[in-house]
Structure 1
């Protein structure tokens, strides 16, 4: 094989470095250094990059690799302000220079680590935009003369290395930007997913824990101190996490006030819950921002994955579900993903997948729960309650799927089906002479209530089935009232013009106020079942129920007790002046054909041994 010429050497080095990136830079550089050692007949060669931020020079690659390298390696990082006089000159050098074997201090500081004895050296700076960015060095046992042409060729090769260095730094900067949050410098979602993919590969150490963190009430801090202070708060917490966690832990900010931490060490559920509690306490320490000392609690969801068995999506979804559980408990808590949560969210996924077809395939049905006058047992109203005959899970109550419907934009379609079906059944009963003096109660979702054509739809349905508006009572929750009071007022006034009655369901749960009752054309309130169920056992609930009944009376509203399950609850309601009620003591929700038997009698016999009472507030 013919010996390379100096010109061909530059071309060959350029070809070797052309396709190199950060991942292959070290191995490719070692190949080039080996080539240069062979060509120039030297004993050792190296490439170093300058770090201007830390005023140091960092060893990138060397050939041949040194044996028995001490720890720490004295050649790995050399700080210019601590180096010998010769090495200090390398910080800003832009021209090649030769170091003879007589430069004893340089030998002792640097090249004694190579074990080559008395040596000479040629150092060729890497130059970019007129400044030194690194060094290409060659070491020879004894002295070696370098020709001007050789040094010029080495300058050309050093330029190739400087170009590679600039390209790799640009790539790494872009990759850093792509993988890090710009506010905190923490990893972002993409970096988190890449990291977890590696951690959950089969054969990797496990279990792998993930903590999903959400700061409680950060919006209030932003509103009070401003977003600049809020950003400082986030940055301070991020620094605190970096300072107090293992340097190898993955800490990612997903945006806003959400973080995910993946500990580097394998952790079972017990260890993970303990570590999550420690992190939560760490976050809750006070921070000074905007001249104020503030703190925020954190809700933490914990999930654990097994490498080779659990996917990244599974672990993060479980941690997110656990976080929702922690927040639902009032926040500032830690929740571990459990089998019960798994069953709950598997049901939600199943419901979301199949609910749309259920609206049209006939698997939805309505059950009806009677409401009676507790003094006589006379049926005064019937509440329509939707059920879903799921293909594999059997009959599901509304609590299992209505929330999912609202979250997936199916609430409007589901609500229209309930309205039409309930009114069709009501019209049929009336044709049979079974519901002449009865009111049909139908629950309305928030989506329906704020839709612009809701009043028109109700009018069309009532006209279609020949039902007068006063025979229908639409039930809305307190939460709906608070969400959009102005829009609710417009809708309810439109309904009242048709004579449709309005009741506030689940009253007493804390959303409504006197001002809402005064501002809305409401006919009745239904006392939340949680208060009624504990009548006879809780003096607090007795006081609440008594105040609700008194409030309803002062506004001229009807009042209905929900969740009557015991005779003592029924007697207490009557004693307080609430005569209308529904609950399992009276009758459970029943299919239409079974309710027909009660309607035929017109009453449900009750044996409550009631005391004699006066009149109280009525209900529609």
Structure 2
């Protein structure tokens, strides 16, 4: 435009120079027409701009109306997590006006937090959009004033990006999905749970059975199915009415749940109690161990505890109702049995239990039933061992490479008057399962400390240390530290001469509790050895945190020394690692000169095994102490 006016001005100037009036008028008319044309262009452009602004205002107004009329809460958020805009639904959900929301942090308004929710480990949809540029969905839950769960689904999208493609503004759509979750939970409950007792139904039991098959095939552990049928339930139901019968079934379900959740034995939270219909219940016990006898003992103990619990009446509408139960059992591991066969076998077992007079427990396999009866008899005998003084401690010497006795491991022995010598492998698992390991463990500590005091007067035993195995159950007792301190004080034993042996699995179950107890006892001089080292899964980071003084190489590695390169390398590595970390290393199960030579070559500190001595009685051990040095067998 400016160039055109300048050109016309030059023409007028030129015309003036040439002096013709008509040329000047012509030039002015051309200029006027050009100006009028340009004004028209500007007018149309202004009108188009106004129309565009109007359309934009209308669009924004429409968008605002739409956003304010949809049920989902919508907000736009900048990279500082501040809210730029919000719709009415969002404002109503958070209980504030839109003006009060704008400019505040989204985590402050949405979650009532002082810091971003992702710093608490939550999945944040908006953060994911800023980080990746792609949409993301996250679900957050909290509880309302009535303690009811509230589930919010947050969908975030990229709204505005800069020249580099980085998201500068995100749109978040927030939907309350609590009702949806409630409906889904109700559908799941109806599909997989018994409506009367709220126990898993047959469909869910079959799913968990499949999981047990898979786990057993992988880890070799046994599982068990217990089929429980209430004795004479139909007669009670007919005489007392179905309402009372239903209440009784609910009470039975609660009692079965309680027995598995809490009891004398370890909690069995992973097990399943299900109702199959009528008065039939099925219990699925998992991870009973790889040893069949131990699995039978553990299963039988749970079954007997359930059966015995029915001795207590059920209180229904302020009246006592008495009923007994018959239980059929089948053990399985992996896919050694089909689901159809499993139900068939427990059905047969419960028929046998009822045929034996009801209120009984029966295994499908007669051999397993015999094992259970043997365990039951053994349990009764076990409860009398301490009072009848049937337990003894034997001591297996621990030596240096020259055969000099530097310590001993206290080993429990049970000499029954009619059964003879009973192997610890037969009664220790039973003692663990029944909880009798606690008084047994205390007796062992008391006896070992008493001997420590007695032997402290023998010159050859002045530096002797006795190692005592501590069970996981015993160690986890809240008063374990106090109990050990009390025994030390009562016996007068030197705590620096006592060493407690802990297994890797025990140590790693609750490492914080383990360290606290080890330090408390270490403060009075008691030492700790990690038993069966190499068979667990402890890491170096965990190992260095433990106040240990000794690692005991598991005898399975010593037994296979020289058989293959792997065991040689494992033992060599354990010794080297122990020495590097400042631990004393002892090998158990040393039986040959070749094993001893290998261990000496790689710097093992101490030895225990038949090469030097079998476990012997206290009197025989005192005699060995007077010898001072043991000849190798």
For the aligned pair, the TM-score class normalised by the smaller chain equals 0.3 to 0.5
**TM-score for both structures, normalised by structure 1:** 0.48
**TM-score for both structures, normalised by structure 2:** 0.47
More helix by share: 2
Computing the radius of gyration from Cα coordinates, the structure with the larger value is 2
